[in-house]
Amino acid sequence: MAERLTIALDAMGGDNAPRSVLRGANIARKRFPNVDFLLVGDEAKLAPMLKRMPKLKRAVTLVHAPDKVGADDKAAQALRSGRNSSMRIAIDQVREGKAQGLVSAGNTGALMAMSKVFLRTLPGIDRPAMASFFPTMKGESVMLDLGANIECTAENLVQFAVMGELFARMVLGSLKPTVGLLNVGSEEQKGHEELRQAAAILREGRHPLDFRGFIEGDDIAKGTVDVVVADGFSGNVALKTAEGTARLVADFLRQTFKSSILAMIGYAFARHALRKLRARLDPRRYNGAVFLGVNGIVVKSHGGSDALGFATAVGVAVDMIQYGFIESMKREFEKSAGTPLVPPPSEAPAPAQAPPKQAAAG
């Protein structure tokens, strides 16, 4: 029988909280009967709702938090004055060992800042990164950073590569995941200086990674590599552009099936198969971004996600706890403790010569 786990849920975070969180927990409760939930939030609001969900009520423990972090609060503000927020108290549950992980659909910036400050980063990691799965022509890949770090040094990118590779190995089950750096061309001299430096370090082979060099935007969906490493700005743009494009094509497809009688008949025949396609592309299936590098399992559910999406994010947290992700990460970084992740500046291989920063598109 599976070991019992405890996960803290930020009941007040997200556009549809607390309703979507409670309903999400209700789905997750059935999917993961070995998980106990700490439902962190305003007792006065949550208790009456739980009264109407008796089965959920038995599976959760209410942890009172009088405040919440607003969607538009600045991270610094949340750090200063969020002491009594549901987000902060959910983090405290993990810090104090009362829960092994937490899920929040709240303010991303505040969640990242609080996780870093109160759970701290793992030894060897300067900055945590947000990582998530996405579907590709070959299966699934991982991309990071998705927006936690707008500006990244070469060192940050190298650390992302190492963390992302471990994540893919554990959660995707790839034995030897391939890793690529998102750039605007595959040639060595392309892109920002930090990218070229990071590539030089990764090519040097200090880290036992299967590094495949630079990839471009269209390689993401192709599944050219298992782990796409990007600075938080590009990663965020790529992720959201992909979501928007998938929605556009789905929208065009809907219009297509309404465009003629024959098309409508066609739809009727293919309906079952098309429903499976819709499920395959459902963004809720890929909900749940992980904060890699934090000393604790923190999963961010999309702010606008519904109950089903929230339950998926809970599933990601369950997976990571069961795989012993934090312990593996620590082991991984201890192993390489003798050889620092990033060589000191004097030893660093010279990056490929900087050409005029021009002319990227192929």
Please, which of residues 183-222 interact with its own copies by CB under 8 A? 184, 187, 189, 191-192, 216-222
| Residue number, 172 or 242, with CB nearest to its own copies | 242
* Cα angle, residue 254 at apex, residues 241 and 272 outer, rounded to 5°: 110
CA distance 331 to 342: 17
| Residue number, 149 or 174, with CB nearest to its own copies | 149
276 binds its own copies (CB under 8 A): yes
Of residues 310-349, which lie at the interface with its own copies (CB under 8 A)?
A: none
Tell which residue, 27, 18, 96, has the closest CA to residue 62: 18
Size of the residue set binding its own copies (CB under 8 A): 86
Of residues 131-170, which lie at the interface with its own copies (CB under 8 A)?
A: 135-137, 146-151
279 binds its own copies (CB under 8 A): no
Give the one residue of 269, 327, 344, 346 binding its own copies; rule: CB under 8 A: 269
Give the one residue of 19, 31, 271, 331 binding its own copies; rule: CB under 8 A: 271
289 binds its own copies (CB under 8 A): yes
Of residues 31-50, which lie at the interface with its own copies (CB under 8 A)?
A: none
Give the one residue of 84, 270, 335, 347 binding its own copies; rule: CB under 8 A: 270
Neighbours of 220 (CB within 10 A): 23
What distance lies between CA 42 and its chain's CA centroid?
27
Give the one residue of 33, 66, 139, 244 binding its own copies; rule: CB under 8 A: 244
Min separation Cβ 299 and its own copies, Å:
13
257 binds its own copies (CB under 8 A): yes
Residue 298 corresponds to which amino acid?
A: V
* Cα angle, residue 201 at apex, residues 195 and 206 outer, rounded to 5°: 150
What would the DSSP string read from start to end of 229-267?
E--HHHHHHHHHHHHHHHHHHHHHHHHHHTSSHHHHHHH
| Residue number, 344 or 356, with CB nearest to its own copies | 356
CA distance 295 to 246: 34
Mutual angle of helices 325-335 and 307-322, in 10-degree steps: 50
Give the one residue of 281, 308, 348, 352 binding its own copies; rule: CB under 8 A: 281
52 binds its own copies (CB under 8 A): no
125 binds its own copies (CB under 8 A): no
> If DSSP codes are grouped into helix, strand and coil, which group holds residue 312?
helix
- Is beta strand 5-10 parallel, antiparallel or unpaired with respect to 297-300? unpaired
| Residue number, 118 or 233, with CB nearest to its own copies | 233
Residue 74 corresponds to which amino acid?
A: K
263 binds its own copies (CB under 8 A): yes
